[in-house]
Structure 1
Amino acid sequence: MAYPAPDAARATAAEGWIWGFALLENYRTLYAQAIDADDPRYVGGFGRFRHYPQPFTPANTDIVTPNNDTPYSWGWLDLRAEPWVVSVPALGDRYYVLPFHDLDTVYAGLVGSRTTGPGSGDHLIAGPDWNGETPDGISSVVRCATQLVGTLGRTYLAGPDDVGTLKAIQEQYSLRPLSQYTGAEAPAPAPEPAWPIWRDTCVDSIEFFTVLDFLLAYFPVRDDVRDLRERLAALGVDGTGTFEPGALPDQLRDAIEHGITDGRDQLEEAKGHTSKSVGLFGTREQLGTDFLSRAVGVDKGIYGLPAEEAWYGGWTVDSEGNRPPDAARHDYTIHFPADALPPARFFWSATMYALPSRLLAANPIDRYSIGDRTPALHYADDGSLTLHVQKEQPEDPAQAANWLPAPDGPFSVIIRMYGPGPAVLDGSWTLPPLTVQS
């Protein structure tokens, strides 16, 4: 086989690593939840939900920057043999979303309060090769670009007393093969793949392309990445699952390894300049070919929602330029003027994460987020709102009501707005500073 010159191979490996980063990080979760039955995160395989009605605590480590507002419903689908149908009950004014993502974490479509409405419905999830007739009774169709897809569903939780009601709602979400939905004869099952064992080290080693080569078998080539896919195929990463780094000439293997380092360096640099979620998560039409921004989104918070569904912003630096903010050194406030409260159709919250883990920060009152649904939140007489971000509980009762506990060290705060208003999406509403108080 005639391989590209080392410089060209290195450039392709860097670009391929950035593009493929989302696929491998997605496979990390897929493997634990749908393949490895010994993993505590295992959901039971493909075609079923695993629900988490309880709010997250620091003990939950399945996912970084976990969302504590809307407990999760995890599910994975193998669309090779036939489509699947997801059915949902009527939820009234309770917010929910079941977003279906392709192997590269790009959203194929969303079922939920904002997109399909609050009523009950049956929604078809179809793979790239399906050309059948949509049966009667189907409310919407989600067309996927890959044959393996996942969903990280969210359903609003009003607080600890609401867990029982939320659990009953989640149990009404169902997944059925299309043949079962219509009563037709089931097609022959797709063959069981030889799933690569997941190892965390593969992301930054040449084994990255071994796993990517396997995953590409479930990702038909699209025009937007045809050139890159052809150049990866020239390195042996062609979707046949036969890429073998040990068989490569030493010079080519070295070039690929240097390309991986180049790709990682590009990602690290881009992360340092990103503080908002716009452009990081979305559909294929929204994200286009900005694979670096998509990789940033995956690294900062994989499975983040499109901006029009949920807007994410955060504070990576404080008012004095300290990066990251550090509650061992300072107390902070976040002040929202009355005419600049977070404009959200459904609700908003700000969640505290300890660094570098990006997990919830333990605290004596078990408060991990604060927002417009927090009981007894104190607004000033003029309607403004000031949040107090510090490690010790404020003595003043009004400040204590608005206390977001911080760890004794570096942290980040992420604000989420569900159903963000136009001012958020067009950039005319901006985050206030994280102001150092002491």
Structure 2
Amino acid sequence: MDEGALIPGRLADVVIEDGLPRRADLPLVFDELDYQLACQVYLWALPMVDFAQWQQVHTEEFQAGPFDLVVYRSYRDRLGIITANATTPYIMNFIKLGATGPVVIELPPGPTAGGVSDFWQREVGAMGEMGPDQGKGGTYLVLPPDTPAPPGVTADHVLESSGMNIFFGFRTLDPDPARAQALVDQVRIYPAGRREQTAPTRLVSPDGRPWSADQPRGVDYFRALHRIYQSEIVDERDRFYLAMLRQLGIEKGKPFAPDERLSRILEQGAAAGRLMAQANSFAKRFEGSRWWPDRQWDLATMLERSDQRAEHHDQLLERAAWFFEAVTFSAAMRSQTRGLGQAYLGTYTDATGAWLDGGRSYTLHVPADPPAKLFWSVTVYDADTRCLIDNPQQRGDRGSRDTDLLHNQDGSVDLHFGPTPPPGGEANWVQTVPGRPWFSYLRLYGPLEPYFDRSWKLGDIHSA
């Protein structure tokens, strides 16, 4: 048999002579090698590039400094966040520990959920109700890697960062806007030991301007990766990926200047990597991802631990799936504690397995008594951006905190999705956009036993 006939895809045109590739075809082989490296680097780097993009938005577009907080209150403010919760406000910032040194975060007592993550989106430490303060507040000292606490600086809790760049964010869980704002006003961030010399933490607003935390596309993805790699550390486990970066022109202390050939390969690799990431997220093939065997709902994240490690491997594809369609992960997001944390289920198709079409109308039956101690919501996201749907209605979710939600006599709720409202009004309707496919999350805040034992079962999304 001709050995060349066994080679698939882009290498099918390589001529094999006496078991060796024809020398004139070697550029095809090396182009394919670099292309495959680009695809794998794309999947590996998703969490870091995503945070790097968002950090750049904070510093360049929002003009937020290291000790400021960006507050995302309105629907338009949150349109740039990948799979944002449309129910609660977000308060966030990114801190370059290499520039600031150790920092202190003061968190007031009250119902909050949040924490600190490195740029691989591994949880450095939880805060608030799921953190060591258990909602009682306190001071957190955050240290750069391999850095001792400054002399004379004490804190209630010490977090040792696994990276040089960190994300700090939290959500207020109090439904009363005034009380929630009072919590936000009390948060302070400052260099360790310099509280009195540092101005009070400033609250910055996106002010409804358009922005996006979506990973850059094409060669810009690799430019963002090069930029953040210059100031970030990489674990020992990733040294082979650093060899791939080097082959793709990304090195510490050197400019990123791909020639025409490499630019073409990186453009193709980013496009293919994005397609792989999308399929990996929206058509999960991970064992145990389907929550109910006879439903289309999946666990939105298959990460088992906040450090992204499993017993015999690190969860590369599970990590890529989650951080393509979402940002941040903590143990609280796969809570096993009844009444605390959150549960997330995602559906990307209707009951028949077809992608959800923004030009068609659908219904979803939510049985009575959704098992959530705090609240539940169903949210619609644009499949391309993975952000809240940007519809004329300027509303992307319906849930238990909506006072106008209409219930059936048995306590169940029928939700409607489509470009036009159903007969009977808009109370239970989320508007979709023709030509924009979508997907949906169910969130349970404070999940209860009927979720864990699966005795409460959500319906599929059906075409109306």
TM-score by length of 2: 0.73
- CA shift, 1:232, in A, is 2.6
Determine which of 126, 144, 149 is the counterpart of 2:166: 149
Which residue of structure 2 lines up, in the alignment, with residue 228 of structure 1?
241
Which residue of structure 2 lines up, in the alignment, with residue 272 of structure 1?
282
User: Relative to 1, partners in 2 of residues 1:65 and 1:102: Cα closer, same or farther, differing over 3 Å?
Assistant: same
User: Relative to 1, partners in 2 of residues 1:12 and 1:395: Cα closer, same or farther, differing over 3 Å?
Assistant: closer
Contact 1:324 1:411 survives alignment (8 Å): yes
Question: How far, CA to CA, are the matches of 2:440 and 2:32 in structure 1?
Answer: 41
Which residue of structure 2 lines up, in the alignment, with residue 51 of structure 1?
71
Which residue of structure 1 lines up, in the alignment, with residue 156 of structure 2?
139
1:329 maps onto 2:360 in alignment? yes
Look up the equivalent residue of 1:22 and give its one-letter code.
P
Which residue of structure 1 lines up, in the alignment, with residue 79 of structure 2?
61
Contact 1:97 1:155 survives alignment (8 Å): yes
Contact 1:89 1:173 survives alignment (8 Å): yes
Question: How far, CA to CA, are the matches of 1:200 and 1:381 in structure 2?
Answer: 42
Which residue of structure 2 lines up, in the alignment, with residue 89 of structure 1?
108
- CA shift, 1:349, in A, is 1.1
Determine which of 212, 217, 229 is the counterpart of 1:203: 217
1:129 maps onto 2:118 in alignment? no
User: Relative to 1, partners in 2 of residues 1:393 and 1:233: Cα closer, same or farther, differing over 3 Å?
Assistant: closer
Which residue of structure 2 lines up, in the alignment, with residue 294 of structure 1?
319
Q: Matched residue of 2:443: which SS?
A: strand
Contact 2:40 2:273 survives alignment (8 Å): yes
- CA shift, 1:33, in A, is 0.6
Look up the equivalent residue of 1:277 and give its one-letter code.
A
- CA shift, 1:133, in A, is 6.4
- CA shift, 1:363, in A, is 6.0
1:417 maps onto 2:417 in alignment? no
Determine which of 153, 156, 164 is the counterpart of 2:178: 164
- CA shift, 1:204, in A, is 1.5
Question: How far, CA to CA, are the matches of 1:122 and 1:6 in structure 2?
Answer: 52
- CA shift, 1:55, in A, is 3.9
Question: How far, CA to CA, are the matches of 2:459 and 2:154 in structure 1?
Answer: 47
Which residue of structure 1 lines up, in the alignment, with residue 91 of structure 2?
73
Contact 1:69 1:157 survives alignment (8 Å): no
Larger mean Cα displacement after TM superposition, 343-352 or 374-383: 374-383
Which residue of structure 1 lines up, in the alignment, with residue 18 of structure 2?
none
1:378-417 maps to which residues of 2 (within 5 A)?
378-390=406-418, 393=421, 403-407=428-432, 409=434, 410-417=437-444
Q: Matched residue of 1:375: which SS?
A: coil
Look up the equivalent residue of 2:89 and give its one-letter code.
P
What does the per-residue CA deviation read over 1:343-368, in whole Å, with 9 as the maximum and x for residues that have no partner?
A: 2343221123456554345466x754
User: Relative to 1, partners in 2 of residues 1:329 and 1:376: Cα closer, same or farther, differing over 3 Å?
Assistant: closer
User: Relative to 1, partners in 2 of residues 1:264 and 1:428: Cα closer, same or farther, differing over 3 Å?
Assistant: farther
- CA shift, 1:144, in A, is 1.8
- Count of residues in Structure 1 that have an aligned counterpart in Structure 2: 396
Which residue of structure 2 lines up, in the alignment, with residue 193 of structure 1?
none
Q: Matched residue of 2:314: which SS?
A: coil
Which residue of structure 2 lines up, in the alignment, with residue 104 of structure 1?
120
Determine which of 175, 182, 185 is the counterpart of 2:189: 175
- CA shift, 1:79, in A, is 1.1
Q: Matched residue of 2:156: which SS?
A: strand
User: Relative to 1, partners in 2 of residues 1:342 and 1:201: Cα closer, same or farther, differing over 3 Å?
Assistant: closer
Question: How far, CA to CA, are the matches of 2:361 and 2:216 in structure 1?
Answer: 39
Contact 2:363 2:463 survives alignment (8 Å): yes
TM-score by length of 1: 0.76
Determine which of 11, 24, 27 is the counterpart of 2:52: 27
Look up the equivalent residue of 2:114 and give its one-letter code.
L
Q: Matched residue of 1:352: which SS?
A: strand
Question: How far, CA to CA, are the matches of 1:89 and 1:25 in structure 2?
Answer: 29
- CA shift, 1:135, in A, is 6.3
Question: How far, CA to CA, are the matches of 1:145 and 1:344 in structure 2?
Answer: 33
Question: How far, CA to CA, are the matches of 1:382 and 1:164 in structure 2?
Answer: 34
Question: How far, CA to CA, are the matches of 1:208 and 1:394 in structure 2?
Answer: 41
Which residue of structure 2 lines up, in the alignment, with residue 317 of structure 1?
349
Q: Matched residue of 1:108: which SS?
A: strand
Look up the equivalent residue of 1:233 and give its one-letter code.
R
Determine which of 388, 395, 402 is the counterpart of 1:359: 388
Question: How far, CA to CA, are the matches of 1:316 and 1:199 in structure 2?
Answer: 21
Q: Matched residue of 1:284: which SS?
A: coil
Which residue of structure 2 lines up, in the alignment, with residue 189 of structure 1?
none
Determine which of 340, 343, 346 is the counterpart of 2:371: 343
Contact 1:280 1:296 survives alignment (8 Å): no
Identity %: 21
Look up the equivalent residue of 1:291 and give its one-letter code.
L
